[in-house]
Chain A
Amino acid sequence: MMGGTSGLSDLDEMYEAIILDHYRSPRNSAPLDDPDVDLEVNNPFCGDEFHIQLKVSQGSVSQVGINGRGCAISQASASLLAELVEGKSYADVKAAVDSVRRLLKGEEVTEEEQDILGDIEALGGVRKFPVRIKCALLSWVGLDDALTDHLN
């Protein structure tokens, strides 16, 4: 990169390899037929928007479809979310949302939670770029709202 990459090397803290991988190849991005939960979330500040669909059965999320448009962080975050929640019980999903919120705010996340989050920990890099935390949180907040609505 003509000696230029050194200027951008700090970006690696936010755009870790795993983040760029999810951004380039998002998981579970196919729309679902006949979803039980169907929700649009958007961030008017940057114009990012995602369509979150879930199929549920017996208190668990059985299938996830997330697609939309947004920056690398919001897209990777949505993809990581889709990968994590499939097959999880409502309670586990809610717990994961809570862990991610704390991770992104720089609050304590236990080792047990870290094990559950796995690759998602890479999202924690956005803490160095505070204006981008919203990008990382967008789909998680949407999922949380969608599940709460569904359970009510």
Chain B
Amino acid sequence: MNDIENLIPTFDVEDVRADFPILNRKINGMDLVYLDNAATTQKPRHVIDALTRYYEETNANVHRGVHTLSVEATDAYELAREKVAGFINAPRPETVIWTRNTSESLNLVAATWAEEHVAKGDNIVITAMEHHSNIVPWQQLATKKQAELRYIVAGKDGVLELSNISNIIDSNTKIVSMTHVSNVLGTVNPVDELTRRAHQVGAVMLIDAAQSVPHMPVDVQAMDVDFLCFSAHKMLGPTGIGVLYGKYDLLNDMSPFMFGGDMILEVTYEDAKWNDLPYKFEAGTPNIADAIATGAAVDYLNNLGMENIWRHEQELTAYALAQMSALPSLTIIGPKDPTLRGGVISFMHDSIHPHDLGTGLDQLGIAIRTGHHCAMPLVRSYDVVAAARASFYIYNSKHEIDELVNGISETEGYFA
């Protein structure tokens, strides 16, 4: 295994960096060290050009006209869908629905599939490390349906506790909705094991893959998940576009999420017939330009290779954990073992508030996230109100992690 892995060519971070115009920026007179990738990633020239080229050369509405531009725009839009389908190994392109973002994808499933299948006395299972977008829709639905919302809790080590999982996911469970990789702890969750358990009791599995699809190979058929969502902007693509993958039969049986143009086959003054997949879920003129640019982002990632990207991030994470653990003032949350986590490291300083630390680092050109990371209940469970977070991507280097560690020490010196 290791021998084969060693033969896979990896990429040169300096070559990658050269593709990202924003990395030339100075922040407060310093080189930008961008370590807020779990919030959003930067965009390579290739993606920016795809956007510009679309507007300069191809712009037209899709699925409507017979004129050349409309045909070209439609082809490009659908080609992007095929690229995304290939990227996650979806069996057919029409199982890939364009949405605005991961939140909308999660809400879509809650408002359609779950709305129709969850009834009084049923339960919905999520984990204690979900983003607000995978908590609040289920709280709302559970209240409305008089269903129970159950949590799989995490230990202080940031790993889900599965010892009593057969009591949590039981015969009344209709849906399990959980994050693949935690945006706070970095934990890579055992989704395969939990998908098997969900299917054992006849429940469907919905995966929030916002922090996994950009960073590791994800194969929806191998995982056998029923639904999976992610956002383009966290994987080099533009903001304002996301994806919902669903198994064909499930999507086909679901009611539409929104109503309007493009999602209907036939409208009379009395009634309407829904269009086929995927259009049933894409009411109105879609986000054509950003879909096409998402296809360009997928091309860029495929060119580097998702195995290589994952290995690069694992290496950075192991290095960062080692360097940051050497600072006695820092408490790092999440798994200690770098192989159990993605490139997300949240930490607290024993005397400096995350916002003061974040402001200090910003003066040095270093961008990190501070606050509750849209996971208030989780952050509070660590008895803090806020944490700092550094998160990595393809263009980050060990040198930048050294800059972070030096920056923390320097900020410490300032406030001492």
Chain A residues packing against B (C-beta within 8 Å) = 1, 4-5, 7-8, 10-11, 14-15, 20, 44-49, 69-73, 129, 132, 135
Contact = CB atoms under 8 A, between A and B. Distances in A.
A15 B359 CA distance: 11
B385 A11 contact: no
A45 B385 contact: no
- State the 5 A-B residue pairs at the shortest beta-carbon distance, nearest first: A47-B385, A71-B353, A47-B386, A71-B355, A4-B410
B194 to A, nearest CB: 30
A115 to B, nearest CB: 30
B371 interface: yes
Interface of B: 28, 30, 352-356, 359-360, 363-364, 370-372, 376, 379, 384-386, 406, 410-411, 413-415
Contacts of B386: 46-48
B410 A7 contact: yes
A7 B30 contact: yes
Contacts of B352: 72
Contact of B359 (A11, A44, A69): A11
A5 B414 contact: yes
A11 B358 CA distance: 12
A8 B360 contact: yes
Contact of B385 (A5, A48, A129): A48
A10 B362 CA distance: 11
Contact of A49 (B359, B364, B385): B385
- Max chain B Cβ within 10 angstroms of own Cβ: one of A5, A15, A44, A47: A47
A11 B414 contact: yes
B46 to A, nearest CB: 32
B355 A8 contact: no
A70 B353 contact: yes
B184 to A, nearest CB: 13
Nearest to B412: A1
Contact of A69 (B372, B385, B406, B410): B385
Contacts of A44: 372, 376
Nearest to B30: A7
A1 B411 CA distance: 10
A4 B364 CA distance: 9
Contacts of B370: 46
B371 A1 contact: no
A1 B360 CA distance: 14
B363 A10 contact: yes
Contacts of A135: 355
Given A5-B410, A70-B353, 6 more contacts: A4-B413, A7-B30, A7-B364, A8-B414, A11-B360, A47-B379
Contacts of A46: 353-355, 370-371, 385-386
30 contacts: A4-B413, A5-B410, A5-B413, A7-B28, A7-B363, A7-B364, A8-B360, A8-B364, A8-B410, A10-B363, A11-B359, A11-B360, A11-B414, A20-B415, A44-B376, A46-B354, A46-B355, A46-B370, A46-B385, A47-B379, A47-B385, A48-B386, A49-B385, A69-B353, A71-B354, A72-B352, A72-B415, A73-B355, A73-B356, A132-B359
